[in-house]
Amino acid sequence: MSDVTPEYDVIIVGAGPAGLTAGIYVLRRGLKTLVLEGKLPGGRIIEAHLVENYPGFPDGISGYALATKMVAQLEKAGGTITNEEVVSLSLEGEVKTVSTRRKHYTAKAVILAMGVQRRRLRIPGEKELLGKGVSYCATCDGPLFRGRRVVVVGSGDEALEEALFLSDVASKVFLVSNDLKLNAAEYLIKRLEEKDNTQILSHYQVEAIEGQQLVESISVKEMTQTEVAKIPCNGVFIAVGYVPLTEIVGKAGVKVVHRGWIRVNREQNTNIDGVFAAGDCTGRGMQVATAVGEGTMAALSASRLVK
């Protein structure tokens, strides 16, 4: 048995829908809980202009509003969110240590819910023009491009949702996809096709983003051709999927699978006793509802362990 008495019953890393839900559940069970979040609470849901598939909101709800309600519910349960980025983990043994740049925190159980970040294209100009016309969040930065020409890169639901949001702001929206057919829901495709200021370029590859101080154009190539064409534009919004924020997790001995997703069982257990994972970082579902469900199960599993 360890002779160290942990400060907390449960530490939750991440305050997206999974982490917030887990926090609500463990707090209501009377467990001393710390929720750590290095960025804004809410996770990637705060980027969503409109969430239409979360139960209980038949007319939809903005991602920011939904996240705000979740945070308010956590606070009503007696919780607070500590704005500190986790930089290392020590998870073996009965007492777990979660370290930020400010402090080392200890707990009996840890729930990993750090979410994901947008995948990069890794093409010339992307890094150099980030924040100068290159963005990964239309809801965050789209209003800056009112009346201007923008490009969205991607073919899934996220990309089409970004393009639809931008179509109400920009003068012209190009959706560039390297797939022959868009990988999005049919209703999203139909909505975009009905817009008179949008154009879909399927089976095109973005070769580079150009500009001196700001984005001025992109170079694209039809996948079966060698000729490169330029599209003049002021903004480029990249929505080509996500990668998990789990680098420190793997270093701490947590089992991760393809591309860094945390491996869990049905009770959200990882391979380390007392360590659970939930939400997008597990790579299962990637929806608000599944994140909430996984957060619930992780909290119940952690509660059984602690009690």
Question: Residue 178 sits in which domain range?
Answer: 134-238
Same domain, 37 and 103: yes
**Would you say residue 278 lies in a domain?**
yes
Same domain, 234 and 252: no
Query: Directed axis angle between helix 288-306 and helix 17-28, to 10°?
Result: 30
Say what the pLDDT of residue 50 is: 85
pTM for the model: 0.84
Say what the pLDDT of residue 1 is: 41
pLDDT at 48 over 90: no
pLDDT at 3 over 80: no
Write out pLDDT tens, residues 158-172: 999 999 999 999 999
CATH of the domain at 260: 3.50.50.60
Domain end, chosen from 188, 213, 238, is at: 238
Across the chain, what does the average pLDDT equal? 94
Same domain, 81 and 227: no
Domain end, chosen from 181, 209, 238, is at: 238
**Would you say residue 81 lies in a domain?**
yes
Write out pLDDT tens, residues 95-140: 999 999 999 999 999 999 999 988 999 999 999 999 999 999 998 8
Same domain, 164 and 266: no
- Per the CB < 8 A criterion, the answer to whether 282 and 291 are in contact is no
Say what the pLDDT of residue 286 is: 85
Got the DSSP string for the chain? --SPPPSEEEEEE--SHHHHHHHHHHHHTT--EEEE-SS-TTGGGGG-S-B-SSTT-TT-B-HHHHHHHHHHHHHHTT--EE---EEEEE-SSSSEEEEESS-EEEEEEEEE---EEEPP---TTTTTTBTTTEES-HHHHGGGGTTSEEEEE--SHHHHHHHHHHHTTSSEEEEEESSSS--S-HHHHHHHHH-TTEEEEETEEEEEEE-SSS--EEEEEETT---EEEEE-SEEEE-S-EEES-HHHHHTT--B-GGGPBP--TT-B-SSTTEEE-SGGGTS--SHHHHHHHHHHHHHHHHHHH-
**Would you say residue 210 lies in a domain?**
yes
Say what the pLDDT of residue 42 is: 94
Say what the pLDDT of residue 122 is: 94
**Would you say residue 3 lies in a domain?**
no
Same domain, 32 and 102: yes
Domain end, chosen from 193, 218, 238, is at: 238
Say what the pLDDT of residue 23 is: 98
Mean pLDDT of 10-26: 98
Domains identified in the chain, total number: 2
